[in-house]
Structure 1
């Protein structure tokens, strides 16, 4: 509407532009709607009628079922950000953050983290997410450190430390001297 300069036009012209863009199928929807002839000239009322027809109403019970059965999947982040998206259509109101927190705890694969969260006094969603993020970060860093230590240990053994065979020129000279 803005690009065509339609926002500067009368509501009737705006509605005409809108109807031209939405196509024949949407025009049929509008024709079977209960809008009066006058309302069909109002672009806001036309848009509302099209949205009401085209956008299905959410079944809150189904949306909540999906939310409450959602658990962490293998390889998925421990904080399960998808829960925030799922909660949008559940109409939880003021309980939203508390229910997201509880669902995170219930759906965790890692029992150690679950226990830590359950043992935390006055656990808010923010505190829960922080503990989850810190746990994941610590595990990632430990894997890196452990992987790095393994490489150092293998390198040290290969270089003759820790009781391994020495392969340096010095050890070969000792063998010659002893012969």
Structure 2
């Protein structure tokens, strides 16, 4: 009856490490045979069970073994099951490498996300393959101290003297359990209380028991529309925070439903000083919005520079003592370059009247001493010649008497300029 409730081990497959695979499979088979009480069965039944559990690969290998040697008078016949197991041992364990096993043991370290009990179990299994003898417990303890991932615990063990293997294991277990408890206490407890809303009548089907059980789960998994995280009621990190887009309170800029207004750097941040995590989240959202705003500004500036530079041209540099035209009070006067300033296109010029002015290159034009302003060619100026100023004419206004409208309001008629009127008549 016991055999009907026990699952036999999987079929034997050598894999990349046949020796380890055979040792594990043989151990599992011995446990299964004794648990199902097959050890007391007849020899043919035990042999058939062994070949069945071995699988296709094991049966093909067993067919290549020589038959058991014949027995002489007075000797016990060879057990077929024992003979097959010995042949597999000789095939997959040809020799015992006393150098490779200790080398693997000395390089073992605790893996990431591996518990301390699992690490000690792996060390004990590997130590069984080594001929450590009476030094096995001491070497396992040394390997534990060197191979654990907790550096603070390792330093604590180094300060102790005459530690036994039991003391090392007890100390490491206590440190692992206490560290786990502290981590659980630091994690927030996400207990959400369901909020009841006023019942609304609709034309939908009545809620079943399954739907009622699913609704609280949906409420727990739903993210807040103001901060983008899941939190308990009235504990929103965005409470009291100023949005960098619209300037309103109560939500982050990444979840703002309005467009951005103005620069994000001109607004101040208002938050609760009680929650430092809230400030980190708000700063993260601020950096994201600021980066996006800078990218948009840079692209707009590049387009403006590209559009403005397409119609520009380089102006020739001026040298000291070079005669130039100076633009002064919307007029062009003769001047001479005195000195070139430290800044680009910054020149000190002196007029014929003795005045000294500092002007950029765009306000200066090279002139030919043999021509006047009207006779100078455009090649001498680098740009088009300015138009001459229009002389202003004094026009006398003819005074006219006030007039009375139909409503009785007295108004002053507009001025009449006879000189201009005569030009159009």
Same fold (TM over 0.5): yes
Does residue 25 of the first structure (1) align with residue 70 of the second (2)? no
**Alpha carbons of 1:24 and 1:16: their partners in 2 closer, same or farther (altered >3 Å)?**
farther
What RMSD over aligned residues (CA atoms) do the two structures have, in Å? 3.8
Does residue 96 of the first structure (1) align with residue 136 of the second (2)? yes
CA distance in 2 between counterparts of 1:27 and 1:74 reads 44
Return the structure number with greater relative CO, CA threshold 8 A, min gap 6.
Answer: 1
Residue 134 of structure 1 corresponds to 174
Q: What displacement does 1:58 show?
A: 3.0
**Alpha carbons of 1:66 and 1:19: their partners in 2 closer, same or farther (altered >3 Å)?**
same
**Alpha carbons of 1:19 and 1:40: their partners in 2 closer, same or farther (altered >3 Å)?**
farther
Residue 124 of structure 1 corresponds to 164
CA distance in 2 between counterparts of 1:19 and 1:149 reads 58
How big is each residue's C-alpha offset from its partner over 1:133-164, in whole Å with a ceiling of 9 and x where there is no partner? Answer: 1111111111111224899xx97x9499x877
CA distance in 2 between counterparts of 1:116 and 1:40 reads 60
CA distance in 2 between counterparts of 1:40 and 1:148 reads 71
How big is each residue's C-alpha offset from its partner over 1:84-129, in whole Å with a ceiling of 9 and x where there is no partner? Answer: 1111111211111111110011112222111111112221111111
CA distance in 2 between counterparts of 1:116 and 1:4 reads 51
Q: What displacement does 1:49 show?
A: 3.7
**Alpha carbons of 1:105 and 1:117: their partners in 2 closer, same or farther (altered >3 Å)?**
same
Residue 75 of structure 1 corresponds to 113
Structure 1 portions without partners, runs of 5+: 8-13, 165-179
Q: In the alignment, which of 44, 50, 66 is matched to residue 87 of structure 2?
A: 50
CA distance in 2 between counterparts of 1:112 and 1:142 reads 16
Q: Residue 60 of structure 1: SS of its match in structure 2? A: coil
Structure 2 portions without partners, runs of 5+: 1-32, 52-58, 192-230, 240-271, 275-425
CA contact (8 A) 1:15 1:43 kept: no
Q: What displacement does 1:6 show?
A: 4.1
CA contact (8 A) 2:62 2:84 kept: no
CA distance in 1 between counterparts of 2:102 and 2:96 reads 10
- Count of residue correspondences: 151
**Alpha carbons of 1:41 and 1:139: their partners in 2 closer, same or farther (altered >3 Å)?**
same
Does residue 37 of the first structure (1) align with residue 73 of the second (2)? no
CA distance in 1 between counterparts of 2:157 and 2:151 reads 10
CA distance in 1 between counterparts of 2:181 and 2:60 reads 58
Q: What displacement does 1:59 show?
A: 1.4
Larger proportion of strand? 2
**Alpha carbons of 1:47 and 1:15: their partners in 2 closer, same or farther (altered >3 Å)?**
farther
TM-score (norm 1): 0.65
Larger proportion of helix? 1
**Alpha carbons of 1:20 and 1:77: their partners in 2 closer, same or farther (altered >3 Å)?**
closer
CA contact (8 A) 1:67 1:86 kept: yes
CA distance in 2 between counterparts of 1:53 and 1:128 reads 39
